[in-house]
Structure 1
Amino acid sequence: MSLSRLALACVCALTCIASLSQAAEVFVEAESFDNHGGWSLDTQFIQQMGSPYLLAHGIGKPVEDAVTVVELPEASKYRVWVRSIDWVARWDAEGSPGKFQLSLGGNDLETTFGTKGEDWTWHDGGVVELAKGENEIRLKDLTGFDGRCDCIYLTTELESTPPNDSSVLSPWRREQLQLPADRQTKSGYDLVVIGGGYSGMGAALSAARMGCKVALIQDRGVLGGNGSSEVRVWAMGNIRRGKYPRIGEIVEEFADKATKSPGTFEEFGDAEKKALVRAEPNIDLMLNHFAYGVSMHDAPADAPKRIESVALLNTRTGEDLSVAGKWFVDGTGHGWIGKWAGADHEMEEKGRMGMSNMWRWDEATSPTSFPDTPWALDLTMEDFPYPRDHHGQWFWESGFDKDPIGEAEAIRDWNLRAVYGAFNAMKNGDGAADHENAYLSWVAYVGGPRESIRLMGDVVLTQDDVISKREFDDGCVPSTWSIDLHYPKKEYADKFADNPFISVAVHDRRVDRSYGYPVPYRCFYSRNVENLFMAGRCISVTHEALGTVRVMKTCGMMGEVVGKAASICTANQCDPAEVYHRYLPELKELLELPGKARRATSTAPIEIPNDAMDRATSVGPSTGLAPSTLGGLVVDDSDAKRSGNWTLGEGLKPYVHSGYRYASANSNSTIQFEASPKTSQTYQLRLYSVGHDNRSSKTTVTVAREGSDPMTQVVDQRQVRSEPWIDLGKFDLQAGTPVTVTMSTKGADGFVHADAIVWVGID
């Protein structure tokens, strides 16, 4: 292997011989190994411990060796240092599950690593004699239980100790990596999006299709965030509905198809997500790049704050660079970019939601074994809910009152101790008799966080705003998830009161789950960093309101709105707040465009491709009879005016569009279908209603027209008919004159069924 290839891989040999320092040094970043083997690249905790690292996540079986080759400048004795951690030592747990060995030049070192330090530290591997030239290094996992290696340092200065600096790209590490004093800068971007989850993808795709030059930065090798194969949280939240039912069409292009959570690897379509983003010529996709800081424009202290660029660490090569742009999107979920930029922000002191690491077990055709885990949580089968359908689901969650950023690695590791402790109870404890053939098939080592920093905008949305349907003129993203807040589940919390690992969801269901509550645009930009957007779970809401907006499809729609707003900023050279104050009508026009609409630049003509999706109605895309096929003027229940208590149903088919409504006989409910025909003629009135035994046989229907007395009739909704409608007769209607059809539960003897009415013109 050539020396230039080694440098490219960031295996840096620094020769300081003779007249310099009389010492030779070689510094090797574990993530830059030529072959990671079975070790995984973990980039989640760079902010806490300073670097990406390799993780031996074998769920109880040692993983394949990670291998690389280094060029030693001279034959000599070298002291070996390995930066690692005993990941259970912070709890004084018995044993060290993350043990691994190092092989140098074909020889295994006697030292076992991963056995020292409750924090990341240098572990002395002793002195070895090594030959000049190419030497192979191997990381040899001994347990399969999450051993971790940050980097390796070899030095002929046998008495020296490397500094244990946990800052990202510390001065010593920069020197070892031979990084230039001035980092390379990439520029020319209209919009820089940090975070490749649903919100970041939505923002990048939306902005690019509206003519912006976009950089999309993601710290991992896959897109989707919590909705990737690494975390496997299925995407929730209804899309394509509300005031702007075109919003959500982009999300639908990349959303997972999982039927359970956690789903399977294939259901999350990592490759398809990358292909969709890379197909956009206006997007520069930067995977495996971690944003670790921001640079601000020089300005007086009392001037508005503006971000100039973000500093990035290439998590594979160690390269240091910055990306400059005009506008930025914090889609990190944690609000890091905003916090570093000095944006106003909040974080709950107590009662925060935690992080989940889901898991799955399966059954082999013959007995299996699982190592004892004395370092895991000491659990019996009564200490956790039995994994339904072999799935450890979303409620395997901890870290409720822990620091979701500073203690993130400890929260993840506690979750791992809980999972391994539970499976140990199943295999080696009081559940062994029932799980002879069981084996762990998947455990998420990438955590799924729910709550941390929230960045404050010109509107801070509250729970009362959502449930009272407070109207904002810039309301745009439909939030349909209930206000869903997580707390430790009491029946499992007592044994581990300091950090419970099973949660319960407490729902406030007063959210309109069909139409959705329109979250205002002013929640999507910072009130004091003038070129910063935000999308996802770090937007401007209270802790309670976060419970409804935080689900992934809703976050993705936020990104779509932000991307369109960014194109207005680009076209008019204005900032996000000005979009609301000066260009809100223009934004609303863009929100009416199909998700696949595009233009080459932010001022070019907009083109609508032939494969654009059909526009959904205010309660979502059609799953039943398409209104366009019914041969008349259709008024769906989703567009009717309702009073009383109507329940959305989908069980009786066929129905029109996306469902129907039903109300009980004693609910004092009404529903009004209003229409204005375009032509004057005779129309047949059809009431779409599928017969069923529990429906009313005495449903009152009234037709009211201007200039005519109301006509009331009683219809039987129990009777099963060959057609899915009831013929209510013929009516002469005048063009432009409103006509109202009202259904009432008064006098009903069962559920009143309201689906749609259709006025069919008669020649």
Structure 2
Amino acid sequence: MRHVTQSYDIVVCGGGLAGFTAAVSAARMGQRVCLVQDRPVLGGNSSSEVRVVPRGSTTYHAYAREGGVLSELMVGERMKNHEPIFENGWANSVWDLSLYDLAQRTENLTLLMNTAVCDVTVTDGRIASVTGWTMSAETETELRAEVFLDCTGDAVVAALAGCEFRTGEEARAEFGEPHAPLEASEDTMGNSIHFKTKDVGHPVDFELPEWAVEYTDPDFFYKQGRVPRDVRGGFWWIELGKPWNTIYDAEEIRHELTRHTLGVWDWMKNKDPQTRNAAKNLALDWLGQVPGKRESRRIMGLHLLTEGDFFRDEPFEDEIAYGGWNIDLHTPGGLLASTSEPTAAAGYDLHSKESVTAYVGPFGIPLRSLVAKDVTNLLMAGRNVSATHVGLGSVRVQATTAIMGQAAGTAAAVALKNGVSVQQVATIAIHDVQQQLLKDGCFLPNVVNADERDRARTATITASSEAVNLGAAPGDRWIDGGLRENVRHSGEYLSALRAQWIPVETGPDAPGLRTVSVLLRNHSDTAVEIPARLQQADHIWDYRVDTNMVLDDTTLVVEPGEHWVTWDVRVDPGSLVRTAPGGQYVRVDLAAEPAVEWLRAGRILPGAVSAFEMSPGRLRRFGDGVTMSHRITPAQRAYPPVGVISGTARPHRATNEWRSDPGHPFDQWIQLDWDEPQDISTVHVTFAGHLLREYDHTPALWRDPQTVRDYTIRAWSGERWTDILVVEGNGFPRRVHHLVDVISSTAIRLVVHATNGDPSAAVYEIRCY
């Protein structure tokens, strides 16, 4: 056996998505980072060993997809991978290679693979080193650093360091959490393995091994929330935990999961009359042998995230990430329990008590929940963050843990750069952390760009043309490149109150709003009256039915048949409270009327989504983020050039987007002008795209049509434009260009020659340094 010692600035333990994004972000900030991973591949539960698709806030909220390093990975993998993502079990090694490739291209980052942390040394209240064992190399490595990150999932580093941690469920009375049980227990959510099948083109048999579990009762599946919706594979509900311990009994759980998974496949393949025919040509192609774990230890930090934090009125001052997944608490015991996860057991009814009470977000996550309280130089990210069992139920999903990881890595780098402890960063250096995260492509709901070094913030912005908002209709064409939509909950009947967000122009030159028309189809034989209301909305996730900012209300009369019904609203510009540069949202709400359809538009108007009333007073996104047919007068300059310096690089309080007029041919350009010459060495550009739908809804070899493909950055020399950068074949929404030479200029112009399919050039943000 060999023993070696290595020293770094930061050591990140755990190479899942949280640890990976933490390590990459810290290394990009100039810190010497070692990433320790106990598996041969990176990505943790998302890797080809486990194959859980990274999901997060976009499953429930439009334009909420996570950014930063994770976005870079997801976008890049889809452009390269020839295989579609159907469900859990469908990830392949192209995803593994995407992570490995990015790690190899990251300066200052060292990988230590197949290495398990087995010891931690603590001196004077701080971690001095961790020791890892690489069995394949018979090497013990002592890793010394100034800051350590525990992203191991099971909180191995914190436990070995003697930090306080929690396991199991807290009692409801301890923190007043409605989702907590009345009495505390050691129960945790379980582990899962997944499988994948292949259509071989002809019937193929499957024989259940004698040592596997045989299923014969259809009620176990169809009355207990384990419906096999698609026989090709996946199935998160193949899950076991209680009565086993998810850490110490991991191997027994793995074996039991294998027995049960084969039994589930046998049921669908050979016994279930509802699935047998669909499965006859399917052969078992892959069955995982590394269980995906949901919950074990949770390290106690400077703040304990609870259910109440999902609904707090005031944002956290140390907000560094956001969540938006529902409170997803799987029933302890999994397959051994009487029912599956509550919303599944309720049949995914979006109006059920289970769905209504579990629906949360987007909500901010504080840095203090990522800082350990018992040692002075430990941060954490992933499912071991400082949260109650209920709090973990929402933030444990991989896309959320990945942006928490980037925040933890960024905070560690800022602490070292500023010469403060990680326990001080959340108070005395939080501005630096937040601004760095925004600069690196992350989104924070309650923080905007305030980077004094960003020269673009002081520029005057003009463009060759700009799109106007007149609404959208069923005949409109939308180029989506095959973006997949979940149509399970997409009925257009007004079975509940329906709301449509409308981006409008604000400011001294705004034209106001005169009329709103909606396209309705009355299926009854008599005229129907529908109460309607026009309100201002704070942002696209303002899910209050009553925003307390009513602009007008009326009753729409809908005759039998299909009609555009027009409403004279007469909203003056002064009636709107300006909350974002160049724009604002108003919302049209139509009351429930089951006999009437509100027809969907043929395209998704950028930034204009819809919702329905899921429970009294509360809305939820309609479908996967769609636009209902509506028209407005006069035309609204809702996509102005100034949107690229609004401080927010996605639709939120306004569209925060410049779009060129789709009727004008390329080239189209957007320009930044200054009164005095500016020295510029780096240009950041964030193009539109990749935010509306989840990663697993995007096809193989996919590029978002909204994203700019070919472009040139030009500088004004005083007499003419000079090309300083030419890019062709782009598919990434965010590009950072370090110029070969520093330029001094009074104007920069971004010229768009082509997109990946959209007729408009669209940019969310430009930064200049």
TM-score by length of structure 2 reads 0.57
Choose the corresponding residue for 1:569, options 397, 415, 420: 415
Structure 1 residue 312 and structure 2 residue 158: aligned? no
| 1:399 alignment partner, one of 225, 241, 245 | 241
Shift of 1:321: 1.1
Residue pairs, 1:85-124, within 5 angstroms: none
**TM-superposition CA deviations, 1:123-152 (whole Å, max 9, x none):** xxxxxxxxxxxxxxxxxxxxxxxxxxxxxx
Residues 748-763 of structure 1 aligned to structure 2 (within 5 Å):
760=636
Q: 1:445 to 1:743 in 2, by over 3 A?
A: closer
Secondary structure of residue in 2 paired with 1:293: strand
Judge conservation of contact 2:510–2:573 (CA < 8 Å) in 1: yes
Residue 521 of structure 2: aligned partner: 693
Secondary structure of the structure 2 residue equivalent to 1:528? coil
Secondary structure of 1:442's counterpart equals strand
Correspondence for 1:229:
48
User: Structure 1 residues 354 and 512, CA, compared in 2 at 3 Å: closer, same or farther?
Assistant: closer
Please give the secondary structure, in 2, of the residue aligned with 1:484: coil
Question: Equivalent of 2:104, from 278, 290, 293?
Answer: 278
Whether 1:473 aligns to 2:310 is no
What SS does the aligned partner of 1:457 have? coil
Alpha-carbon distance in 2 for matches of 1:748, 1:730: 24
Structure ID, larger Rg: 1
Q: Structure 2: which 5+ residue stretches go unaligned?
A: 79-83, 169-184, 346-353, 444-450, 457-462, 523-527, 537-550, 599-609, 612-626, 639-769
Distance 2:195 2:592 in 1: 50
> Which of 425, 446, 460 pairs up with 1:579?
425
Question: Aligned partners of 1:583 and 1:476: how far apart in 2?
Answer: 12
Post-superposition Cα deviations, 1:604-638, rounded to whole Å, max 9, x if no partner, equal x999999xxxxxxxxxxxxxxx9x94348x9x9xx
In 2 relative to 1, CA 504–663 (structure 1 residues): closer, same or farther, beyond 3 Å? closer
CA contact (8 A) 1:217 1:286 kept: yes
Question: AA paired with 1:290?
Answer: A
| Structure 1 residue ranges without an equivalent (≥5) | 1-178, 300-304, 598-604, 611-625, 637-648, 704-709
Please tell me whether residue 444 in structure 1 is matched to residue 264 in structure 2.
no
Using the alignment, how far apart are the partners of 1:563 and 1:512 within structure 2?
A: 29
Cα shift readout 1:12-45 (whole Å, capped 9, x = no counterpart): xxxxxxxxxxxxxxxxxxxxxxxxxxxxxxxxxx
Q: How does 1:514-663 map to 2 (within 5 A)?
A: 516-595=362-441, 629-631=466-468
Q: Give the distance between the partners of 2:167 and 2:575, measured in 1 at CA.
A: 59
SS at match of 1:567: helix
The answer on whether the counterparts of 1:691 and 1:717 sit within 8 Å (CA) in structure 2 is no
When residues 414 and 394 of structure 1 are mapped into structure 2, their CA distance, relative to the original with a 3 A threshold, is same
- The letter of the residue matching 2:97 is A
Q: Is the 8 A contact 1:467 1:510 kept in 2?
A: no
1:323 to 138, 143, 165: 143
**Residues of 2 paired with 1:713 and 1:436: CA distance?**
56
CA contact (8 A) 2:57 2:64 kept: no
Number of corresponding residues: 524
Question: Partner amino acid for 2:382?
Answer: G
- In the TM superposition, 1:331-346 aligns within 5 A as 331-346=151-166
| Equivalent residue number for residue 351 of structure 1 | 187
1:410-429 equivalence runs, <5 A: 410-423=252-265
Q: CA deviation at 1:554?
A: 0.3
Pairwise CA distance, 1:328: 1.0
Structure 1 pair 483–502 and aligned structure 2 pair: CA distance change class (3 A): closer
CA distance in 2, matches of 1:370, 1:668: 48
- Alpha-carbon distance in 2 for matches of 1:735, 1:232: 47
Q: What does the per-residue CA deviation read over 1:553-583, in whole Å, with 9 as the maximum and x for residues that have no partner? A: 0000101111211121111222221001211
Q: CA RMSD in A?
A: 5.2
Which secondary structure does the structure 2 equivalent of 1:316 belong to? helix
Are the structure 2 counterparts of residues 371 and 674 from structure 1 closer, same or farther at C-alpha, using a change threshold of 3 Å? closer
State how far apart, in whole Å, the 1-side matches of 2:378 and 2:249 are. Answer: 27
Once the 2 structures are TM-superposed, how far is the Cα of residue 373 of structure 1 from its aligned partner?
A: 2.3
CA distance in 2, matches of 1:736, 1:458: 37
1:202 equivalenced with 2:21 (yes/no): yes
How many Å separate the matches in 2 of 1:317 and 1:740?
A: 59
Counterpart-to-counterpart distance in 1, 2:135 and 2:100? 18
Pairwise CA distance, 1:468: 4.8
- Post-superposition CA distance 1:95-139 (Å, at most 9, x none): xxxxxxxxxxxxxxxxxxxxxxxxxxxxxxxxxxxxxxxxxxxxx
SS at match of 1:389: coil
> Structure 1: how far apart are the matches of 2:25 and 2:388?
26
Tell me the secondary structure at the aligned position of residue 184 of structure 1.
strand
Kept in 2, the 8 Å contact 1:488–1:504? The answer is: no
2:121 maps to amino acid: S
The equivalent of 2:511 in structure 1 is: 683
Look up the equivalent residue of 2:368 and give its one-letter code: R
Bigger Cα displacement from structure 2, 393-402 vs 367-376: 367-376
Q: What per-residue deviation string (whole Å, max 9, x for no partner) do you get for residues 236-276 of structure 1?
A: 1126999x989623211123756332242448621111111
How far has the Cα of 1:235 moved from its partner? 1.2
Q: Write the distance in 1 (CA, Å) between the matches of 2:391 and 2:426.
A: 22
- Once the two structures are TM-superposed, the CA of residue 371 in structure 1 deviates from its matched residue by 6.1
SS at match of 1:338: helix
Structure 2 contact 121–129 (Cα < 8 Å) conserved: yes
Which amino acid is the alignment partner of residue 416 of structure 1? Answer: T
Q: Secondary structure at the match of 1:571?
A: helix
Structure number with the bigger relative contact order (C-alpha 8 A, sep ≥ 6) is: 2
Deviations along 1:506-550, one digit per CA (max 9) or x if unpaired, are 75544666x611111111010111111100100000001111001
Residue 23 of structure 1 aligns with which residue? none
Number of the residue aligned with 1:458: 302
Percent identity over the alignment is: 27
Q: Which one of 194, 218, 229 corresponds to residue 37 of structure 2?
A: 218
Counterpart contact for 2:327–2:359, Cα < 8 Å: no
Q: Deviations along 1:319-340, whole A, 9 cap, x unmatched?
A: 1112111111111111111111
- The answer as to whether partners of 2:578 and 2:584 remain within 8 angstroms in 1 is no
The answer to whether 1:260 aligns with 2:86 is yes
C-alpha spacing 1:692/1:666, structure 2 compared with 1 (3 Å): closer
Letter in 2 for 1:589: Q
Distance in 2 separating the partners of 1:575 and 1:313: 28
Structure 2 SS opposite 1:485: coil
Report the alpha carbon displacement of residue 690 of structure 1 after superposing the two structures with TM: 5.8
State the alpha-carbon separation in 2 of the partners of residues 743 and 701 from structure 1: 6
Q: Assess, with a 3 A threshold, how the Cα gap between structure 1 residues 689 and 446 changes in structure 2: closer, same or farther.
A: farther
- Structure 1 residues 555 and 502: CA distance shift in structure 2, 3 A: closer
After the TM superposition, which residues 18-97 of structure 1 pair with which residues of structure 2 at under 5 Å, given as runs? none
Alpha-carbon spacing, 1:696–1:408, altered in 2? closer, same or farther (3 Å): farther
Q: Is the 8 A contact 2:530 2:590 kept in 1?
A: no
Deviation at 1:286, TM superposition (A): 1.9
The AA in structure 2 aligned to 1:462 is T
SS in 2 for 1:590: helix
Q: CA deviation at 1:207?
A: 1.3
TM-score (norm. length: structure 1): 0.57
Deviation, 1:408, is 0.6
Q: For residue 447 of structure 1, report the CA deviation from its aligned partner.
A: 0.7
Structure 1 residues 324-372: Cα deviation after superposition (integer angstroms, max 9, x where no partner): 1111111111111111111110111433111001113345455656566
> Does residue 1:374 correspond to 2:220, yes or no?
no
Residues 519 and 563, structure 2, Cα contact 8 Å, conserved in 1:
yes
Q: CA deviation at 1:475?
A: 2.7
Amino acid of the structure 2 residue aligned with 1:205: V
8 A contact 2:203–2:282 mirrored in 1: yes
Matched letter for residue 209 of structure 2: T
In the alignment, which residue of structure 1 is the partner of 2:197?
361
Return closer, same or farther for 1:741/1:527 CA change in 2, 3 Å cut-off: closer
* SS of aligned partner of 2:9: strand
